[in-house]
Homo-oligomer: A and B are copies of this chain.
C-alpha cells in the first residue's frame, strides 16, 4: 500500500491504459465466427486475458511525452501487445518452454491444442503488422513504415526470435553475466525498447530525445528481466499467474544465480536509478515514465 501512495498518478494511468488497450484489441481482432472461428477464439483468449500491459503503456506514455494523445498511440500500442501475446503463446508450447499457466489461466495450447496455439500465434503476429499498415488510422505512411520496420526488427531473428533461440540452446545453462545480459536484450529488451521508441517515431521526435528514450528503455528492460528472475525464484505461481522456479529447475543461468538475490536486487535498483536519470532532458513531462521505472522494480507479478 505504501507503493500505491508513492505513485498515485501512475497506478491510475496503468489501470486506465490497460483498459483502453484491451478495448482496442477487442475492436481490432475479428469476431470468432465461421469454420475458422477456433483460431480467432484462441487469438482473443490470449490477447484479452489481462496482463500488466506494460509494453502498450510504454508506447502510450512515450507518445504522450511529445504531446500525442492516447488515441494517436493506441493502435500502435495494441500492435505491440499482439506481438507480446504471440511470443507468449509460442514460448509456452510443449516444444518450447512447455508452460501450462499464463496470466493465471491455462495457456493457449492447454485450453485449445498445440496446432491452434501455433496458428493463433501466427495470426497475432500477422495482425500486428496489418494494424500498423492501416493508413485509415492516424499517421503518415513513412511513419507507419518506420514503425513496421522497427517492430519487425525487435521481434524477428535479430530480436525476440533470436533471443528465444539462445534461451533454448545447449549453451544456455553455461552463460555468464554478459551472456545472460545479451540474451535478455534480445528476448525481452528489444520489444520493451521498441515500445518506447514507437512513441518517438509517432511524434517524429528529434535525435537527442530519441537517444535519451533509447537509453531509458535499455536500462528499464534489463531491470525488468532481473526482477523477472527475482520473482521466478521468490514468488509463487498463485501470486505470479505463471509457473515459478522453472529456470532454476532447468539449470538455466539467471541474474539471481549469478549475483544472488541481494546482488540482483541491487543491480535492478541501480539500473532503475540510471533509467530515471535518462529522462532528465524531458523534465516534469517524464514523471509517469520515471514512476514506471520504479514500478518495474517494485512489481510483484
Contacts and interface: CB of A to CB of B under 8 A. Distances in A.
Interface residues of A, number: 56
A90 interface: yes
Interface string A234-278: 000000000000000000000000000000000000000000000
A33 to B, nearest CB: 11
A169 interface: yes
A57 to B, nearest CB: 23
Contacts of A169: 35, 38
Nearest to A149: B133
A136 to B, nearest CB: 10
A130 B145 contact: no
A201 B79 CA distance: 24
Contacts of A121: 122
B126 A152 contact: yes
> Most chain-B Cβ atoms within 10 A of its Cβ — which of A141, A161, A186?
A161
Nearest to A122: B161
Interface stretch (A7-15, A112-120, A205-213, A219-227): A112-120
Contacts of A35: 165-166, 169, 171, 179, 182
Contact of A144 (B145, B153, B186): B145
Given A36-B162, A130-B148, A132-B148, 8 more contacts: A35-B166, A35-B171, A35-B182, A39-B162, A90-B118, A122-B156, A141-B145, A145-B145
- A-B interface, 5 closest residue pairs, ranked by CB to CB distance from nearest: A36-B162, A141-B141, A130-B152, A95-B114, A126-B156
Interface of A: 30, 35-36, 38-40, 43, 86, 90, 93, 95-96, 113-116, 118-119, 121-123, 125-127, 129-130, 132-135, 140-142, 144-146, 148-149, 152-153, 155-158, 161-166, 168-169, 171, 179, 182, 186
18 contacts: A35-B166, A36-B157, A36-B163, A39-B157, A86-B122, A93-B118, A95-B118, A119-B164, A123-B156, A130-B148, A130-B149, A130-B152, A132-B148, A133-B148, A133-B149, A134-B149, A135-B142, A141-B145
